[in-house]
Amino acid sequence: MAEWRIDGAGWLQCDGPSFRRVVSPNFDGRPEGMPVELLVIHNISLPPDQFGGPGVEQLFTNRLDPGEHPYYAQIHDAKVSAHFFIRRDGSLIQFVSCLDRAWHAGLSQWQGRERCNDFSIGIELEGGDSQPFDDVQYAVLNRLSAALHAAYPLRATLGHSDIAPGRKTDPGPCFDWSRVGAS
């Protein structure tokens, strides 16, 4: 199994057909000298609770068709992204360089610091609050997390709900935190 690593430009380097890079326009620069210290775990599925379609990739690249699904009409103008997206089948997409600020956390706070996008990396898991995640998603998350820990001075891995309590619920009650960091 080939090593996964983050290169000097903030992009994951790994081989295999289950990894793709799709560049999102929804990012900007981190504040000067801001270290990456936090991993934020999210869940997402588009349409909600439906898996495998192109909706998330379309949302993160501003190509979501508002006529394709009633829910899309509500969110198609959102300018959001995450650094990584792990699908139910374990395939992985990177949308934003880890050196840049993805727009995943919104109004957020950690240890008295606001604007968690400034110092975090966002990882979206294809899923929702009502279904367990697949074994392969945990395996990919742990390989990715190891590569990120090797590249950056990460101090914590938290859920979106931890940094935006009352506003967000993800990764949700079905996310098994005991499996994070497991090999």
Query: Which SS3 state, helix, strand or coil, does residue 109 take?
Result: strand
H helix runs in 76-178, sequence order: 135-151, 160-163
Residue matched to tokens 């997390």: 145
Is 32 annotated as catalytic? no
Bridge-based pairing state of the strands 120-126 and 12-13: unpaired
Chain centre distance of CA 79: 15
How far is it, in rounded angstroms, from Cα 181 to Cα 87? 18
103, 120 in Cβ contact below 8 A? no
Looking at 37, 57, 124, 126, which residue is catalytic?
124
**How many Å apart are CA 151 and CA 5, to the nearest integer?**
8
- Which three-class secondary structure state does DSSP give residue 108? coil
Distance CA 85, CA 137 (A): 10
Query: How far apart, in Å, are the Cα atoms of 119 and each of 30, 32, 38, 58, 109?
Result: 7, 11, 6, 25, 11
Residues designated as active site: 124
